[in-house]
Amino acid sequence: MNVIILAAGRGTRMKSSLPKVLHPIGGLPMLFHVIDAARQLSAQQIICVIGHEAQQIQSGLVMHYGADHGLDLVLQSPALGTGHAVSCTLARLGPAQTSLVLYGDVPLIPRALLASLVQASASTEGLAVLTTGLADPTGYGRILRNSAGQILGCVEEKDASEAQRKITEVNTGIMAAPTDRLRHWVGQLTNHNAQGEYYLTDLLAMAAQEGVAISSLDCPADRVQGVNSQSQRAQVERIFQAGLAESLMAAGVQLADPLRIDIRGQLSAGTDVRIDVGCVFEGRVALADHVQIGPGVVLKNVRVEQGARIEAMSHLEDCTVGPRATVGPFARIRPGSVLAEGSHVGNFTELKNTHLGAYSKANHLSYLGDAQIGARVNVGAGTITCNYDGAEKHRTVIEDDVFIGSDTQLVAPVVVHEGATLGAGTTLTNDAPAHQLTLSRARQTSIPRWKRPKKQSH
């Protein structure tokens, strides 16, 4: 089959500078959901009609699918309606028997139903449309049927009479037709309607008048909801997230509340994983068995190994958390960091490009950047690696079994050798030798009979 995806509209109702079809659902532009569905159908040809902000859509496609994305891009400018959009593809349309039309703003289409729709069109050599029943059909095209239940046409909201507006069976916009008939019908479209547009939906009436078979497939309403406004985008997002949450729970994941999770990428989870409310998962996140994620945690491209715990309000990106390690609450782990087995990172501690060795702890108020930290190290509260000299970044090496006193600055490049202890308040500018106490602060003195200055009274 040929697949035609319509994505040239302005999306005025979104009130956004981003083209509508690039607005994300589950972190992925909704157009890409539609393209992925088309690809799974193993279509011979996928034509994408673009127009409004075509450049931006084109570069989005190249970024996501690569320069050899294999999509046939057709420009529709100006956009004169969905029927006009299809007419712009006719010169490029391949020889396949059936053509399927998808809408770039209907992202959650059930893939199995698309195959049935194409099958219905091919077997009847007629038009096949996907319809659904909506309690509130406002804004959608209504399906018109005769008393015998045969489809006579489709009327858009703006052209519908009071009585027609009461019809709750709506057009999803998705249809399949024999390619030669599609050419013939689209060539005959006019724009004599309330919006002065060429409506693709007029094909239904044309087919009915020519006595060509029209079959309809009913589809669950939540899978074919269109996105025309920010409110509808948010609704579709929740539908999508609910599906992901269901499959996680079916696999045994304990979600504190399936309505309060956001997955914007791929989340895999082992057994007995617990996820509290308000977490966001981006990119590829893998949670091993017995992992616990506290409320309000953000994980982006993170691997969390067995039995590790991420406490409330922590933010982790491009890093690995080792088995039985604990992070947070209120920790930030930045790209390139690895937390080894049983390590602890506590509140208000930031790691960047840092390896924290097994059973080492940095529990309070620290910045550890570009550091290699060994095993069983204790990093005292308020420790800072001064990794940046204003021009270059430098590394700090802290070997096994080191104890770093509170409020210490490690001016990189610097090495703290095995078993060393740094006294509280040390500003370390030279390497610290192994197994010794290194201090840099002045000796404590007290001045007897010293008086605090007092304000003079006039």
Residue numbers at the binding site for Ca ion (CB under 5 A): 105, 226, 228
Answer yes or no whether residue 399 interacts with ligand UD1 by CB under 6 A: no
Minimum CB separation of residue 295 from ligand UD1 in Å reads: 36
Which of 216, 81, 84 lies closest to 142, judged by CA?
216
Q: Summarize the chain as % helix, strand, coil (round to 5).
A: 20, 35, 45
Chain centroid, CA 307 distance in Å: 26
Residue nearest to Ca ion (CB): 226
Answer yes or no whether residue 294 interacts with ligand UD1 by CB under 6 A: no
Q: Count the residues of the shown chain that bind ligand UD1, applying the rule CB under 6 A.
A: 30
Nearer Cβ to Ca ion (228/378): 228
Q: Which of 45, 87, 99, 201 binds ligand UD1 (CB under 6 A)?
A: 201
Contact set for ligand UD1, span 2-21 (CB under 6 A): 6-9, 21
Q: Which of 109, 114, 170, 373 binds ligand UD1 (CB under 6 A)?
A: 170
Helix (H) or strand (E) holding 243, with range, is: helix 230-250
Tell me whether strands 45-50 and 142-145 are parallel, antiparallel or unpaired: unpaired
Contact set for ligand UD1, span 321-350 (CB under 6 A): none
Q: Are 126 and 207 in contact (CB under 8 A)?
A: yes
Minimum CB separation of residue 225 from Ca ion in Å reads: 10
User: Is 364 considered catalytic here?
Assistant: yes
Note if the bond before 413 is cis, omega within 30 degrees: yes
Catalytic entry in 184, 290, 364, 417:
364
The one of Ca ion, ligand UD1, none whose footprint includes residue 379, by CB under 5 to 8 A per kind, is none
Answer yes or no whether residue 358 interacts with ligand UD1 by CB under 6 A: no
Answer yes or no whether residue 216 interacts with ligand UD1 by CB under 6 A: no
Nearer Cβ to Ca ion (7/321): 7
Look up residue 403 and give its DSSP letter: E
CA distance 442 to 302: 43
The torsion angles phi and psi of 162, rounded to 5 degrees, stand at -55, -50
Q: Beta partners for 361?
A: 344, 378
CA distance 16 to 55: 16
Instruction: Retrieve residue 291's tokens.
Output: 């992992």
Angle between helices 30-40 and 111-124 (to 10 degrees): 50
The one of ligand UD1, Ca ion, none whose footprint includes residue 370, by CB under 5 to 8 A per kind, is none
Residue 144 to residues 125, 131, 175, 360, 391: CA-CA distances in angstroms?
21, 11, 16, 70, 71
Answer yes or no whether residue 179 interacts with ligand UD1 by CB under 6 A: no
Q: Which of 53, 72, 105, 237 binds ligand UD1 (CB under 6 A)?
A: 105
Minimum CB separation of residue 404 from ligand UD1 in Å reads: 58
Nearer Cβ to Ca ion (3/415): 3
Q: Which residues bind ligand UD1 (CB under 6 A)?
A: 6-9, 21, 49, 76, 79-82, 84-85, 103-106, 140-141, 154, 156, 170-173, 199-201, 226, 228
Task: Name the residues annotated as catalytic.
Answer: 364
